[in-house]
Structures are given as structure tokens and as C-alpha cells.
Structure 1
């Protein structure tokens, strides 16, 4: 089997694209899709074992992949990683700023170090990567950058540090789109809603036990999204079809960020998930919910 993308097989033929956080979750899925469409993908992350595993998968499927261990929170490592990609592959067509992370906590319980760590992980690292991609290559030759935000427009209760950082990414996207348009650089952002991804297994306690299994009920389409549905949006922004699209933040959330609590959500029909990722799997936290429903 191979990735079943909605894009034509040569849509990214010989394009060089970096995907941060490519060792798992949405980054892994996006790397697979872009590789299946002809791209030379470079996946980065902090854990070499994850990068090695995804690289093996892509090679088995006939794609082109290279991995670089990089901590995006460290400015010099980002500079060196971008320089290595350009030296090895001779160009940089696209950058997907997918890497990030946070932990659940109410505002009053977040320490200064905890707040700084999440902002650094999601906002500072995005800025470092964007700036280096632009300064080292895209200022002269153009390119496309896709950032990652989240559903933070109504606030992010329980994750205020992440909401602050992701809001910053949204604004940073718009600013860069204006400033770098003169170089033919398009900068856009994808804001996923609740997506069935391996990242859900990073949470524990009540958040994993009660909140995650209940998320689909808060979406007007009454389901969660798939990694493929986010990857498709990323690929669109990177593609020639989006050649006149820049400064846009696209919500991919089943309308979960719309409406008010006063409007009750009815049961939904006719909403089918798109899953083109042949190597996708269900997170353990959702498997437990399915097992519980079967036994009840």
C-alpha cells in the first residue's frame, strides 16, 4: 500500500521540504504524503529513534527522506540545520513548522519556567525556523512556509501558555506574509481542531481519561479529524494551487471554534472522515474508550 493523496502524484516532484516534528503524529503523516507526491522531505526532531523509524517507513514506500536531529528551541541548532539542508540538497522550497507541544494546566498553577518553556517550544522555535529559512534561502529564491497554530480564538482554558504562543504564531504568520511577499515567499498557517493523533498519548490523568474521549461531542460534525485532513491542508498551502494565498490561517476543526454554548449541538450525519494515510493508527487513549464502549 501507499499514501492515498488527493493531489496528483508529481505535485511536489523534486521539491525540497522540511517538516519539523516529523517523527510522529501530524508531522509523520505530512512527511509521508509529501514524499508520496515526489518531494525530497527532511524530517527533524529531538529523538533520533522516531526519525529513524519514520525514515524507514518512507523509504519502504519508495519515497525520498533525510533526517536531522534538531532542537528547534536552540537558535544555533536551527541555523545549522537549515544550512545543512541547503548544502546537501541545493535549495529549500518549503518549510512546515509542525513541531510543538504543551501540557495541561490552569493559569494559576503554571510556573514561570513552565510558561516560558511552552512559549519557547511553540512560538520562539517557529520564529527561528522562519527567519533562517528566509535569510539563508527564500529571500533570494522564494518559497512557502506553513506554520501550525491551534483553536485558540476563544481562549484555551487549561492551556493558557499554549494559547498565548499559538496566538503569537497566528500574528507572526500574517506579519511575515506582508514583509516577505516582496521575495515571493508565501506564509500561511493551519489551525487544527481535535485530531486523532499519537500526540494524544502524551497526556495523562483526568485530561486523558475524561476530556480527550469527550472531544468529538463538542464538534458540530460530531467527530474528530484525522491526520490526513491536516496534511491535506498543509499540502494545499505548499502547492502551486495556493500561489496567490498568503497570510491565511485556516481552521481545520469541523466548526468546533464557531457558535456559542447557548446553541445545542444535535447529532450529526453524513460526515465521513478522510484518511489517506495507510500507516495511520488509533492513539491508545481512544482505543481504551472504544474498548469501554464495547464492554458496556
Structure 2
């Protein structure tokens, strides 16, 4: 087998092999970024992953990767194209998943999207589009998974939100939607506990994922400078976010519900007057805080392409590793 066709190494999860064997897990936004990475890790642990998204080609590519990489672990992937903003479509796709697999054990509500804009420039249509994707779509997916399966069988839900502590200037539509999803998480955790369902959220901070490639080129300098405001001194990566999601779906989190697990390197705690807060490169390399690079198919976002050969944009170019 040539180097060009050789199968890449498998996902390097910190969790025990077979942890999620035969669990049926739905991942929305599974064709790229954090959703794609999470789907790979879930499958590497034996889960039967069902990818949801609007782009069939991306979903098919991710499912193909998983089938190639995770067959030995018992993992499997299938996919359904669905616009989660459409109530009838969500109801139909959840019905199809239950018919195919018999149940849904877990849902990762990852699909989302937003764009950079000051509030005064956001139209009603743009505002509604972001709320429909980041809040209403997540609610519809969770409700249908609960009504059609989890109410009878139990399960776990993880909603992906964002660093909304201090709100989101420049993305007020997304901040409002994500704050609503936090409230929904807390409410669902109470209302659905009687059915043996846990509902939590993961709030990624500055994560170097493929989602950054959707921002305009002129946003590049701002994105590259954001790491200087993170006490950890770097961006997080997709695998570090996925690990938090998997933990909340695992039996180890059986008494955790209604909470938000932040993955942000202490970014929300930064206050004016502290001056330079980012950890120096030497500190970034210490075992407790150096990046966990578990995803074997991770690709650096294009906005960081000039930052050197390191697969994760950690230090500035020229600073070393």
C-alpha cells in the first residue's frame, strides 16, 4: 500500500475502547468541524453514529472516513440530509432513525452558524436565520429525539453553545441564540429527568476548527490575534471539544445534568488591567495544558495557514513549539 493510499492512524481517544459500543448517537452538523471530529471519536468508541446536516456530500465524506477508520472498533456511520430549521423535516428524519436503529441513545446538538456583524447592521431576516439555526433547530432535534425515543428509553443530550459569558459583541444574534440554548438545556434537564434523560451543554471558546474558514478573509488578522487574549496562550482544537462532549455522554457523567462545561482556556475570566495574559510558549508546552491532538484527520483552518508547520495554531510563527 503506497503512502498516498495508506489508511491514516485511528482516533486517539482518552476513553476506554468500547465505551459506547452499540450506542446510537445522532450528531447534527456532522459533516465538518467539531461535529465531524466528535463523530469520529464516538465511532472509534463503538457507537453507531448518525450524521445530520444539509450538505449530503460532506456527510457522505465523513461517513466514509468513519467506515474506513473505525470498522475495527465496531463503530459505524450513516447519514441523513436534513434542514434542522424545518419542523416537519426534523420529525421525519428522527422517525427514520428510530425505524432503522430501534432507538436513539444520545444526541449531540452541534449544528450552528453565524456571521460577524454589529447589531445595527443585522436585518430581521439575518437575525431570524441565526436564531432558527442555533436555537430553534436544536430545540426541534432534542424534542423529537425525546418524544420519539428517549421518553421511553432514556438517553443523553449535549447541546453545543458558545462563549457567551460577557455576551458576544459583533455576533449579537448568535449570543442571544446560544444564551437561549443554555436556558433550554437547564429546563430540559429538569423536565426530562423523570424519563432518565440527562441534558447538558458544552461551550467551546476559541477553537481552531474548519468553521473559521467561513469567515471573510479580512477577519483573518483579528482571528489570529484572538489567542493573545486567552490565558492558556493558544486556541483549542476540535479533539479537546469532542473529549468534553464524550465525557458528558459517558456513564462517568451519570449524575451531571443541566450544566454547561466550558472548553475555553479561561478566556471569559480575562479582565481589563491585567495586561498580557497569554501564557508564554514555555508554559504552553507543559503537560497539564499542552494541546491534546487526538483527531488524526484534523486540518488547520486556512486562516492560520501561514503560521508554520504545527498542525494546531498554538504559538505565533517563529516562537517555536
> How many residues were matched structurally?
293
- TM-score scaled by structure 2? 0.89
2:3 maps to which residue? Answer: none
**Which of 181, 201, 215 is residue 226 of structure 2 equivalent to?**
215
Question: How far is 1:293 from its partner?
Answer: 4.1
**Which of 191, 195, 206 is residue 218 of structure 2 equivalent to?**
206
1:241 maps to which residue? Answer: 252
1:82 maps to which residue? Answer: 94
Question: How far is 1:140 from its partner?
Answer: 1.3
Q: Structure 1 stretch 222-231 or stretch 266-275: which is displaced more?
A: 266-275
2:56 corresponds to 1:48: yes
Match of 1:18, SS state, is: strand
Match of 2:199, SS state, is: strand
Counterpart Cα distance in 1 of 2:35 and 2:53: 10
- TM-score scaled by structure 1? 0.96
> Alpha-carbon deviations, 1:178-229, whole Å to 9, x = none?
111111100000000011101100001432x211111111100100001000
2:138 corresponds to 1:122: no
2:302 maps to which residue? Answer: 284
Match of 2:58, SS state, is: helix
1:172 maps to which residue? Answer: 184
1:94 maps to which residue? Answer: 106
Match of 1:65, SS state, is: strand
1:229 maps to which residue? Answer: 240
Q: How does 1:181-196 map to 2 (within 5 A)?
A: 181-196=193-208
Structure 2 contact 229–270 (Cα < 8 Å) conserved: no
Structure 2 contact 27–108 (Cα < 8 Å) conserved: yes
Match of 2:78, SS state, is: strand
Aligned-residue CA RMSD (Å): 1.3
Match of 2:267, SS state, is: coil
Unmatched tracts of structure 1, length 5 or more: none
Match of 1:195, SS state, is: coil
Q: How does 1:6-25 map to 2 (within 5 A)?
A: 6-25=14-33
Question: How far is 1:263 from its partner?
Answer: 1.6
Structure 1 contact 213–289 (Cα < 8 Å) conserved: no
Question: How far is 1:267 from its partner?
Answer: 3.4
**Which of 41, 45, 62 is residue 37 of structure 1 equivalent to?**
45
Question: How far is 1:275 from its partner?
Answer: 1.0
